[in-house]
Structure 1
């Protein structure tokens, strides 16, 4: 099992935009030094608790201050970008990364973002736009000119050479393109079906393990459409993780600190408005009123001492049938940076060695 990081990025509303950006950059430096495999950075436009609208700006800076970790958007919200412009920008970023870039894409799930960009998310327009944009981007990267793509939302041309020397010339450094990741939330996630269909990296967002187990079914349904055989080793699970020297300290620093505050002030109310609290329940008959910060900390989060966290991760691994990479969900602990860095270090050096016997390729203990 590998470990990485997934950050929205999340910051409390009173945090300045540069202040939050600088914290994220500091954490990326730690992750690289600790030997984490990858980091994915989200994009949002109207959520004060998830305030970064431009993951590529953070990626570009982080690439200059790290050496080994793979970094990428997790992901670009494709309905809000012209696919030709984004194709060129991501390709350029791949060259700046010297081949360390991952390319995460998403359809966008916030109604306030839909409203800002006049996208009808209720009808699924955001998902249709995502599929069309990605098709155009891949076509620009892999198919020779000249051609015209006449889509429902965009018309894009890849012209032949003009005036002897003007022509499309920008392609990614990684051939045929950087690894593509897509994140899924719902039980019959369209994006996870897309991952299976196209061989992309599937990422399951931080939900109850009993619920997440159904996500692999979506990947397999998509893969069956194109005759692919998906590999569980490619599957990423995003989890809230806090490791401390003792279980009591981990509880105090997670449920009793920023993880608890973010969940109580933002994430739980948000899911409640959408009717999505079922995603956090270990059984469907749990009343919504019981889904509190403490409930999530006990049932869903992976918190505790190194031995406790290792035990919880192995349980989750078997519950979902095996996965390849744990992605730690990022939080803003700039008020207690040593605690967050210590948690990341304990996970890397104390927890992961205890899980070496797990083989996601088999979906069971080796």
Structure 2
């Protein structure tokens, strides 16, 4: 099983933006040195806590300072920019990174981002579906293009301006052929979107804030999608994110990972719980769909979703988690705010050097 990294770190308000950006960069640089396979970086325009506004721009700063880690948008929110921009900029990034690029995609879930862009009342899932069709078609086709759809939002062609001799009217293609890996984050139980990923050969990444029983619903749907197009699903293509803190001292692990009021893990899930309650998605944190809302508390969420302990304990918990979900190809470590930088770094080190060897031996 591979080890990856995913960051939507939820920094506390009041920290300097430049400081948190440096910290987020340092985490990816550390992951590269430790041999993590890839790093997914989230983006939001209007969230003071999740304050990376463009994952591709952020990742571009890491290209010259990393050597092996694959750099992934986590995600590019496709309702928020024209797919021609996504296709062209992603293709250039793929060349700049020497083929270390992964395109992570989603519609964009934050309502305040949508309101700021004037698309709050529009069907962002529909925009997402059309945008991904345009992006892949651009990479698959040649100019002058003829990417139009009846009633579609994005009609892409350079028929009037194409000049092959001058070299204009030609959109760039990525270095990786036929295209970079495309990964979709899955945030809902029994997601039908995973079926569509299977039909398109996109790869799923199950979110870290889903209970194990909901994560387990994703793989059967992906298999269904692959089988519908006559293909066989490979568990190597399934990534599962988890919120993990590892320390040599079990008391430190319990405090920093769960119980200390200053714990970044408590802070993260306090904000996530508040957001999901506000937008009516509290079911993500329910152990059963008919569970009363008042039973979903911060303590219950932290207890169920934070895996913490010594390397031996964390490895045992991850193996038990895998028993619930079935096999998957990559465990994605969720990066949070570095309240204590030494503890945060040590956790990433222990995860790579002690936990994962135990898991892979188990």
**TM tier relative to shorter chain:** over 0.9
Alignment of structure 1 residues 103-118 onto 2, 5 Å: 103-118=103-118
TM-score, normalized by length of structure 2? 0.92
Answer whether contact 2:7 2:41 (CA < 8 A) is retained.
yes
SS in 2 for 1:80: coil
- C-alpha distance after superposition, 1:45-79 (max 9, x if no partner): 12222111111121101111111100111110011
Task: Please say if residues 148 and 155 of structure 2, whose CA atoms lie closer than 8 Å, have aligned partners that are also in contact.
Answer: yes
Structure 1 residue 3: deviation in Å?
A: 0.7
1:179 lines up with 2:181 in the alignment: yes
Q: Secondary structure at the match of 1:240?
A: strand
Which residue number in structure 1 is paired with residue 23 of structure 2? 23
Q: What residue is the counterpart of 2:245 in the other structure? A: 242
Distance in 2, matches of 1:200 and 1:39, equals: 17
Kept in 1, the 8 Å contact 2:78–2:131? The answer is yes
Superposed, 1:1-366 pairs within 5 Å as 1-120=1-120, 125-151=123-149, 152-159=152-159, 161-162=162-163, 164-167=165-168, 168-206=170-208, 207-255=210-258, 256=260, 257-264=263-270, 266-284=271-289, 286-333=291-338, 335-357=339-361
The verdict on how the C-alpha distance between 1:166 and 1:41 changes in structure 2, with shifts beyond 3 A counting, is: same
The number of residues matched between the two structures is 354
Cα distance in 2 between the residues matched to 1:280 and 1:286: 10
| Corresponding residue number in structure 2 for 1:364 | none
1:10: how far off? 2.5
> Matches of 1:267 and 1:16 in 2, distance apart?
21
Counterpart CA distance in 2 for 1:13 and 1:188 is 34
TM-score by length of 1: 0.92
- The alpha-carbon deviation at position 15 of structure 1 amounts to 2.2
Shift of 1:139: 1.1
The separation in 2 between residues aligned to 1:163 and 1:47, in whole angstroms, is 44
Name the CA shift for 1:80/1:33 in 2 (closer, same or farther; >3 Å). same
**C-alpha distance 115-169 of structure 1, shift in aligned 2 (>3 A):** closer
Shift of 1:309: 0.5
Give the Cα separation in 2 of the matches to 1:216 and 1:182.
Answer: 13
CA distance in 1, matches of 2:83, 2:292: 43
